[in-house]
Chains A and B, each alone.
Chain A
Amino acid sequence: MSSDEVYRRIYDNPKFQTLVKKRGRFAWTLSALMLLAYYGFVCLIAFDPKLLGTRIQPDAVLTWGIPGGIGLILLCFILTGIYVQRANGEFDREVRQILEEAGQ
């Protein structure tokens, strides 16, 4: 069997189509979340700079901006973690199964 036929057989497998859709949706959702969070942060700075500079408690200097900014850094890490967890587990298992069904 030529490699093109193998590729064709995988492509025609409904499991492959389901996986591609599922993984694509997941990846684009996380990307959208990341962009929204970042540009949301940037928007806050632009439209209402005072808000991020507002104290969380009136008697302490800590402002909303500090946990917000640090939170954004943590979000990058958490979202990449979520993606890797699912892609290296669930998605990779399904890929292996699809490859096995194609005789690979």
Chain B
Amino acid sequence: MKGFSFSWRALFGAALISAVPAMVLADSVNGEVHKQATNYIAIGMFLAFIVLTLGITKWASARSASTKDYYTAGGKITGFQNGLAIAGDYMSAASFLGISAQVFTSGFDGLIYSIGFLVGWPIILFLMAERLRNLGKFTFSDVASYRLGQKPIRFLSALSSLTVVAFYLIAQMVGAGKLIQLLFGLDYLIAVVLVGVLMVLYVLFGGMLATTWVQIIKAVLLLSGATFMAVMVLKSVNFDFSALFEKAVEVHPKGDAIMGPGVLISDPISAISLGLALMFGTAGLPHILMRFFTVSDAKEARKSVFYATGFIGYFYILTFVIGFGAILLVGTNPAFKDAAGELLGGSNMAAVHLAKAVGGDFFLGFISAVAFATILAVVAGLALAGASAVALDLYTHVLRGGNVNEKAQMAVSKGAVIVLGIVAIVLGIVFEKQNIAFMVGLAFSVAAATNFPILFLSMYWSKLTTRGAVIGGAMGLITALTLTVLSPTVWVDVLHHQAAIFPYKYPALFAMIAAFVGIWLFSVTDTSAKAKAEREKFFAQFVRSQTGLGASEAVDH
């Protein structure tokens, strides 16, 4: 029995290390950073990026007049383009820097982290993508409320979407400010204001079309830059992989240990919890789900995920090579280290230093500009998702019961974008010195425990009722928020109490159980006439989800 329990500890411990540091590293740049000397090449290239993307925004603004154009780019994005845009949405600046840094410091472990981020995508394709596209029009709440009460379901999903967007946005803004300080030598305040203003411009004038192209351009730049670095690394070892590993083991302080898993066993509950948050959180992020409505039909939606999985997987393989390259070309070069032998600017800078090592100042400028562009693409997607929750769910359905004219709706959208931009800038400044490590974890947990259960069960479970979805979803949301506050990441690290009331770092396991049990219990015990009618509507929804008959594109033509 003792052996058994030990094994499970080991198992879940491994699941934990497969994800925790990536979570912290991959979506926010944390801790103190030191302002670097002003990098004019980087700034010049970044200005070129801004000019190009604002040009695209101007072009897109003429094509974003109707609600459909504004939120879904008219449904005219191809599967390939959307796959690139999804990859652009998902590969954050800090996941490029964070995962390569992880490989640089511990080798193989970095690969384990990146795999944790990829495995959710095939599941999204197999179980959700086509049904989502067949049922929805603009956002996932169209799907969740398909046969249920519009007002309560949309109110709840808007609430949880805005929570996800807010925390994700703060993490990105603070990360952006620090990264830009580090890479460009610009002030934190200037960086945050710049990111906020550009985000508003893209989304306000160019809607989904401009946002999509910003994401596509960024994905292409990031993939090309990373490919160039990986090729240069391989060139330095004459394209001989075994020589790359051979030399890395030779010069790395950990030696042979970088070629296998390093074991850091933590508590099992946090491990399962985080694994769930990562996998199902991805399937509940409003800005990611929104991308499925930019393509014309289920066929293109499936292709999107196929290409996205390919690009994201390729990117993680590149970061692995880049990390090993950094061991060889950065780790052995005293020019990149301070007096204490630490990497200049911290270990997150491994890829940036490697850029300089393989491509000189010009390429360093390019990679820095790409990192900045990357943040812009991610925040633009978030702002659009936030605006859609306010305008389409809260204003149109909750406040006006579905009776609105398109002009008023668009005005609310644009107002929401501006307010979101201001809020993001203010919170970015307020949280500069705060510990924000918990925020991305919280966003994933809320998405996994509120959006995902409602969405998944609305598509798969005929007995779901409005009462069950609202009460259960709210239980998931409240549990996720409460437990996060009581957990060590907030209670101890932010509020500086002695010990945490809730001992685990991530609440997703408990919040998801609360949501699923709540939804089940309050659905099966719902005997009202309304519930009966909702269940009877399932078969029509089921046929549409399976065949695409009546899907939004078909109706509009």
Contacts and interface: CB of A to CB of B under 8 A. Distances in A.
Contacts of A34: 119, 122-123, 126
Contact of B543 (A7, A41, A70): A7
A60 B241 CA distance: 11
Given A46-B13, A80-B309, A83-B125, A88 B18 contact: no
Given A10-B547, A45-B18, A80 B121 contact: yes
Contacts of B10: 46-47
Contact of B259 (A3, A66, A70, A92): A66
B174 to A, nearest CB: 30
Contacts of A66: 108, 111, 245, 259
A42 B14 contact: yes
Interface in A1-52: 3-4, 6-8, 10-11, 16, 19-20, 23, 27-28, 30-31, 34-35, 38-39, 41-43, 45-47, 49-50, 52
A49 to B, nearest CB: 5
Given A47-B10, A62-B242, A63-B260, A95 B548 contact: yes
A88 B302 contact: yes
Contact of A60 (B246, B305, B540): B246
Contacts of A98: 547
A46 to B, nearest CB: 4
A51 B89 CA distance: 36
Contact of A76 (B12, B14, B242, B313): B313
B310 interface: yes
A61 B543 contact: no
**Interface of chain A, helix or strand or loop or mixed?**
helix
A58 B119 CA distance: 32
Interface in A60-78: 60-63, 65-66, 69-70, 72-74, 76-77
B118 A73 contact: yes
A81 B263 contact: no
A43 B309 contact: no
B398 interface: no
Contacts of B540: 3-4, 7-8
Nearest to B9: A46
A79 B547 CA distance: 22
Residue picked from B14, B126, B550, most chain A C-beta under 10 Å? B126
Nearest to A63: B259
Contacts of A8: 539-540
Given A27-B127, A65-B108, A76-B119, A49 B261 contact: yes
B303 A84 contact: yes
Contacts, number: 166
A47 B7 contact: yes
A69 B115 contact: yes
B549 A6 contact: yes
Contact of A92 (B18, B127, B241, B299): B299
A41 B303 CA distance: 27
B196 to A, nearest CB: 35
Given A45-B18, A52-B260, A11 B122 contact: no
Contact of B305 (A6, A43, A80): A80
Interface in B285-320: 298-299, 302-303, 305-306, 309-310, 313, 316-317, 320
A9 B539 CA distance: 11
Interface in B310-359: 310, 313, 316-317, 320
A75 B242 CA distance: 22
B547 A62 contact: no
Interface string B253-274: 0001101110100000000000
A60 B242 contact: yes
A90 B134 CA distance: 18
Nearest to A6: B549
A35 B305 CA distance: 17
B69 interface: no
Interface of B: 7, 10-15, 17-18, 108, 111-112, 114-115, 118-119, 121-123, 125-127, 130, 241-242, 245-246, 249, 256-257, 259-261, 263, 298-299, 302-303, 305-306, 309-310, 313, 316-317, 320, 539-540, 542-544, 546-550
Interface of A: 3-4, 6-8, 10-11, 16, 19-20, 23, 27-28, 30-31, 34-35, 38-39, 41-43, 45-47, 49-50, 52-55, 60-63, 65-66, 69-70, 72-74, 76-77, 79-81, 83-84, 87-88, 92, 95, 98-99, 102, 104
17 contacts: A3-B540, A7-B540, A10-B549, A34-B122, A38-B115, A45-B112, A45-B261, A46-B15, A52-B108, A53-B261, A65-B260, A70-B317, A76-B118, A84-B125, A88-B299, A95-B548, A99-B549
Q: Which 6 A-B pairs have the closest CB atoms?
A: A53-B260, A46-B14, A46-B11, A46-B10, A45-B14, A69-B111
